[in-house]
Structure 1
Amino acid sequence: MFIAYVVLAVVVSLALVFSSVPDFTGDPKVTDGLKALGVPDSWFLPLGLVKIAGALGLLAGIAYRPLGIAAAIGVVLYFLGAVITHLRGGDKKGVGIPAAIMLVALAPLVLGFATV
């Protein structure tokens, strides 16, 4: 179980880092869609930093599991909020990626509890 936790924590951390890049660079492919949903420009940097914090927390959870569990809870809630934002904005096409990351982030959460 520990090896599965480590692998999934690394995979989710990489997904979080990858998904934070448009927040920092202002990639219009991503930011224009979020702006259309009502996300202000001033939120992009903090949202990217939250993703990076989640990635670091998951990786730190390899050594100290309670931190990894807390980070996984935060990541799941973050992407649940993203899914809700897309659905409320009528953007059904944009739900897929945040929903997928949220579901994958459930795995380190469950494994974190299983390996405490």
Structure 2
Amino acid sequence: MFALYVISTVLTALLCAGGAWMNFTRHPVTVAAAEQVQVPLSWTRPIGLVFAAGGLGVLAGFALPVVGVAAAAGLVFHFVGAIIAHLRVHDLDLGKAGGALVLMGVNLGVTLAYHLG
């Protein structure tokens, strides 16, 4: 179980690091996605902070389990919000947000199972 916990946490942290970088630099993919779901471009940096905090939080969970669980849960809520933002504008291209939500959900489940089991 420990190996699965480490793998899912590291993958989550890497995805979050990439998402944070893309939002902080206003990468064209991020800008296009924000425009598609009608989110103001001024939100890209705060969303990048969510990614950065979430990624650091799941890694901190190795030492402080409650922080890891809280960060993993926060990331799940973030991507549920992303799915809602896509559906709000009738954008059914949910591949990226849906895939990320699955990874975040797996990480939350594995984190809970590891620390509570």
TM-score calculated relative to the size of structure 1: 0.91
Q: What do the CA deviations read for 1:36-75 (whole angstroms, capped 9, x no partner)? A: 3221121110000110100000001112211111111000
Can you give the 5+ residue segments of structure 1 that lack an aligned partner in the other structure? none
Give the alignment of 1:98-113 within 5 angstroms. Answer: 98-113=97-112
Q: Is the 8 A contact 1:22 1:31 kept in 2?
A: no
Distance 1:7 1:36 in 2: 32
TM-superposed CA distance for 1:22, in Å, is: 2.1
Distance 1:65 1:108 in 2: 13
Distance 2:110 2:64 in 1: 13
Q: Judging changes above 3 Å, is the alpha-carbon distance between structure 1 residues 17 and 88 closer, same or farther for their aligned structure 2 residues?
A: same
Distance 1:13 1:87 in 2: 26
Q: Is the 8 A contact 2:16 2:54 kept in 1?
A: yes
Can you give the 5+ residue segments of structure 2 that lack an aligned partner in the other structure? none
Distance 1:104 1:46 in 2: 21
- The aligned residue for residue 38 of structure 2 is 38
TM-score calculated relative to the size of structure 2: 0.90
Distance 2:32 2:97 in 1: 16
Q: Is the 8 A contact 1:58 1:67 kept in 2?
A: yes
Q: Judging changes above 3 Å, is the alpha-carbon distance between structure 1 residues 36 and 107 closer, same or farther for their aligned structure 2 residues?
A: closer
**Matching of residue 97 in structure 1 with residue 113 in structure 2:** no
Distance 1:33 1:110 in 2: 28
Distance 1:29 1:66 in 2: 33
Q: Is the 8 A contact 2:61 2:67 kept in 1?
A: yes
Distance 1:3 1:71 in 2: 19
Identical aligned residues as a percent: 37
Q: Is the 8 A contact 1:24 1:44 kept in 2?
A: yes
TM-superposed CA distance for 1:2, in Å, is: 1.9
Q: What do the CA deviations read for 1:7-40 (whole angstroms, capped 9, x no partner)? A: 1100011011112222111122321331232211
Q: Provide the aligned length of Structure 1 versus Structure 2.
A: 115
